[in-house]
Structure 1
Amino acid sequence: PLGDVRQECRGLARAAIRLDAPAMETLLEQAISDYGIVTAWEEVMVPTLHAVGRKWESSNDRYVEVEHMLSWQVSTVLRRAATASTGRPMPPVLLACVPSETHTLPLEALTAALSERGLATRMLGGAVPAEALDAAVRRCGPAAVVLWSQARSTASHALARHVAGVTFGLRGARTAPLVLLAGPGWAGRAPESGMLRPRGLREALDSLSRVYGEPVPEPERRSAAGPEPLGTDRPPMSPTAAGRP
């Protein structure tokens, strides 16, 4: 049961149970076209991923293939939506999972949503080594860095402090990126100077828009489902679908 959520969730869940990949792709693309990335993520993708995850957990490990295929289709449409060029020069937002963290779907949703607003992004993906992250920050000169941690065991506050302290640019006019601590792994500690901890996809997107001086859209009407998007303590999928061993 999906509760009081959009009708699209039920159709998507039925297609997932049938392993009907073309139908899933069509429904997901239609949701993005009709509602935009943020609403499609919060009110269609996440509730359906949660429902399929609960189905897997309550059925003695059955339906793992359903969750994997649904996660793949969600990732496919989000990456496709994030391919648009901004058409204007600007320092990018750099997005990465911290070392040992493999959950990437929430970052893919944020990447697509930033592209939808015309903001430049560089996505590094899952389990990025600290040295590689440091090198990418110095080479890209990003306006902001988003670090995703799904569990407290992967959240490295020392790494976040290091990234927030990396400076680049001309001598005498050096700057450092804003660091967004995204995901439930960062819970329990207040963000330090130069860092923010957004509570969800919408808040992360608005915070990053302000970095560029972009106008923040009026809040959209949200459904009664009470979606739990980017930075909540409830994971958007089970560890199996995220590729954990």
Structure 2
Amino acid sequence: MRLLDLLDAARDLDSGAVAGIVVTLTARHGVAATWTGACVPALRRMAAGAGPADIAVEHALTEGIARGLDLASVPRHADIRSNHVLLACAPGEQHELPLKALAAALFERRVGTFSLGAGLPWPALHAATGRTAPSTAVIWAQTAETADAAGLFAVAADFAGTVFAAAGPGWLAAGVAPRLTRAGLAHLTSLDLAISACARVPEPLDMEA
């Protein structure tokens, strides 16, 4: 799915071209297929062979994919549901690209999001949840160091009306995933699973964009 095109554009340091490829692919195949079939393989291949001289190329690829996903997240429907899903990275976590993919995939399904970005402190998440009253809050942790189960439990305990979910490999790496599920918090291990969890709404909703 145009994996080599993405890599070639990144090697040219053309993040705009990377973004254009991502937008084209999402229009043809949808966000989830584009993310899993092109973006993730490109990012993994780049990371596997990256040296100091390739950092700029890796940045061009990441920036281009982020820009393309942002463009794919532009609401195209009048009935986008706001206040539905809150997306944030755990404190200290800077890898927000997977949450951009989730936001774009949810917009395809007319599900609105609040995307609060990287490194959100727990008090800020607590305040944002109280202010927006989302039905679901997804917290991303890429590494074991940022997978703070205690912090997530503390916030979730104050908002019975919000389903809190942990996403990202950090929760598994930290060995806290079983604790999350025992406590009733969802542990989302794939984009498709996250979409299914976040797209559940109380009224019927056409899930085809």
Q: Do the structures match in fold with TM over 0.5?
A: yes
User: Counting helix residues as a fraction of each chain, which structure ranks higher?
Assistant: 2
- The answer on whether the counterparts of 1:98 and 1:127 sit within 8 Å (CA) in structure 2 is yes
Q: 2:94 aligns with which of 91, 94, 102?
A: 102
Identity, % of aligned positions: 32
CA RMSD of aligned residues (A): 2.1
| Correspondence for 2:195 among 186, 196, 205 | 205
Report the counterpart of residue 31 of structure 2 in structure 1: 37
Partner in structure 2 of residue 176 of structure 1: 161
User: Is 1:122 matched with 2:114?
Assistant: yes
Q: What CA distance in whole angstroms lies between the structure 1 residues aligned with 2:122 and 2:110?
A: 28
Greater relative CO (CA pairs within 8 A, separation 6+): 1
Tell me, yes or no, if the aligned pair for 1:165 and 1:176 is still in contact at 8 Å: no
Moved over 6 A (4+): 215-218
Structure 2 residue aligned with 1:157, among 149, 155, 160? 149
1:162-241 alignment runs, 5 A limit: 162-167=154-159, 175-187=160-172, 188=175, 189-190=177-178, 191-212=181-202
Segments of 5+ residues of structure 1 without an aligned counterpart are 1-5, 168-174, 219-245
How many residue pairs match? The answer is 202
Q: 2:87, 2:122 → 1: CA distance? A: 13
| 1:121 to 1:11, Cα distance in 2 relative to 1, 3 A | same
Q: Distance in 2 between matches of 1:112 and 1:214?
A: 20
Larger radius of gyration: 1
The answer (yes or no) to whether the contact 2:15–2:63 under 8 Å persists in 1 is: no
User: Helix, strand or coil for the counterpart of 1:166?
Assistant: coil
Task: Give the distance between the partners of 2:89 and 2:65, measured in 1 at CA.
Answer: 18
CA gap of 1:184–1:213, structure 2 versus 1, over 3 A, is farther
Find the counterpart in structure 2 of residue 236 from structure 1.
Answer: none
Give structure 2 stretches of 5+ with no counterpart.
none
Higher strand fraction (1 or 2): 2
1:193 maps to a residue whose letter is A
**Matching of residue 61 in structure 1 with residue 52 in structure 2:** yes
| Alpha-carbon displacement from aligned partner over 1:49-100 (angstroms, at most 9, x marks no partner) | 11111121xxx42211000011001111111221216625554200100101
